[in-house]
Structure 1
Amino acid sequence: MRLPLHPFVSDALAHFGIAPSQLAPNGWRTLVGFAVLCHFRGAGAPTLPVFRRFFALAALPNAKGWYNFRARESVPALFTGLPTSIKGWKEEFLLVSPPPGAPWRCPVKWGVATKEAMSDPVLTDGDAAVVRLLSQGQGVVDLKTYLSESNLVASKISRASACPGVAASQGAPSRAGKKTQVPAAAGGGNGGEVLRSELQAKEKALSKAKGEISQLKKELGNAKKRELAKAQQELAYAAQVLVPEGGGKGAGANKRRRGAQ
């Protein structure tokens, strides 16, 4: 958890009608991990409909008022590495007050999530394209290492500056014009050949994944264009069928004048 809350986190809490203190630690990991994943896979800003396509809010068993997110079985899993047991996390609370003139964008009093808020989301064409983008290509993400401070800074979850010289653990490119040196394995040239072969295989897989991501981004852009064109058509149609206020009265007056003549 980082303060101030990321807009996506605030929107999620507001949608479900729960306070930050009601969300279990693994729920926070899931929310934040999704925002980081959207950033590094080029999906743009995280959105609630896409998140709800992958995860559903669930009440913790035998713990009234506490909630977590469970992965939906109908879509590919995104994350691994969530702790199965966290002891003592309910024992202490932290009081946080917003600055003057900046109210919370989410509930601060405990609430109960409604069935409507927990229902299946309705996806637009753009949302569906993002779902495909996140589902394909690079497999599940281990949140134990993925939620590093450098990744949180890169995805604007955290405002702290990253340590100098430390790239995001997602893997930032090296400086332009400099090639990464592959150290020779100890014990002779055979080890070096194996290492180079593994590196080439990884580069090939990365190139394939980049191609798939590029295609999905193109599909997402086309979907957004279709949505915009549809909205423009509906607006033009509405402008044609709407009659200006008072137009009916004027027409009736003209008919009466012609009848009198």
Structure 2
Amino acid sequence: MSGIPKSVELRAPLGCERADWDIPEWTCFYEYTLRLGFRFPVPELVCRLLKYFDLAPGQLMPNSWRILLSLTVLQETHNIRFGLGCVLHNYYLKEHVGDQGRYILTPRNFAKRLITDTTTNHRFWKDTYFFAKGPPIDGP
């Protein structure tokens, strides 16, 4: 994979390892995040949200990743700054009803959401994952 900093180490899960296991020094990421455009190092906005709510990357539902990565692209391509305060002004984090321990960014006002057209069914998104470790995983 190109673009991965040399300080980031990736590996596939070992035979019996599950995505929700606590494996010291390793962080689980789902493969679908790469399809959505995720790249290392972890974007600052994503790091801030995860730290604020004390979540692991794998606890965010696909549409939450869509929103955060879309905002990151807007920041990078149009020099528009979206801080955590802006995100939390427009969205709140809610535990997914059918998937305990997983969270989704929900618009406070559907008509004024920052990112639209995020609804896509990723039925098997939890099937493929990998582990990463290294300084950029923890973010700024």
CA gap 1:94/1:15 in 2 versus in 1, 3 angstroms: same
* TM value normalised by structure 2: 0.63
Matched AA of 1:47:
G
1:55 aligned residue = 91
CA gap 1:82/1:74 in 2 versus in 1, 3 angstroms: closer
In 2, are the aligned partners of 1:22 and 1:67 still within 8 Å (CA)?
Answer: yes
2:106 aligned residue = 70
Matched AA of 1:61:
V
2:127 aligned residue = 91
Q: Alpha-carbon deviations, 1:223-250, whole Å to 9, x = none?
A: xxxxxxxxxxxxxxxxxxxxxxxxxxxx
Matched AA of 2:125:
W
In 2, are the aligned partners of 1:27 and 1:68 still within 8 Å (CA)?
Answer: yes
Structure with the higher fraction of residues in strand conformation: 2
Identify unmatched segments of 5+ residues in structure 1: 107-261
Q: How many residue pairs get matched?
A: 102
CA gap 1:41/1:76 in 2 versus in 1, 3 angstroms: farther
1:85-164 equivalences under 5 Å are 85-98=121-134, 102=135, 104-105=137-138
CA gap 1:3/1:42 in 2 versus in 1, 3 angstroms: closer
1:31 aligned residue = 68
2:118 to 63, 79, 82: 82
Matched AA of 1:60:
H
Aligned-pair RMSD on alpha carbons? 2.2
Q: Alpha-carbon deviations, 1:24-53, whole Å to 9, x = none?
A: 11111101112223445543x331101111
Following the alignment from structure 1 to structure 2, what is the Cα–Cα distance between the partners of residues 62 and 94?
Answer: 23
1:125-204 equivalences under 5 Å are none
* TM value normalised by structure 1: 0.36
1:239 aligned residue = none
Higher relative contact order (CA 8 A, sep 6+): 2
Matched AA of 2:121:
S
CA gap 1:18/1:97 in 2 versus in 1, 3 angstroms: same
CA gap 1:81/1:94 in 2 versus in 1, 3 angstroms: same
Following the alignment from structure 2 to structure 1, what is the Cα–Cα distance between the partners of residues 129 and 110?
Answer: 36
In 2, are the aligned partners of 1:11 and 1:105 still within 8 Å (CA)?
Answer: no
Instruction: Tell me, yes or no, if structure 1 residue 15 matches structure 2 residue 52.
Output: yes
User: Percent of counterpart pairs with the same letter?
Assistant: 26
In 1, are the aligned partners of 2:92 and 2:107 still within 8 Å (CA)?
Answer: yes
Identify unmatched segments of 5+ residues in structure 2: 1-37
Following the alignment from structure 1 to structure 2, what is the Cα–Cα distance between the partners of residues 63 and 48?
Answer: 25
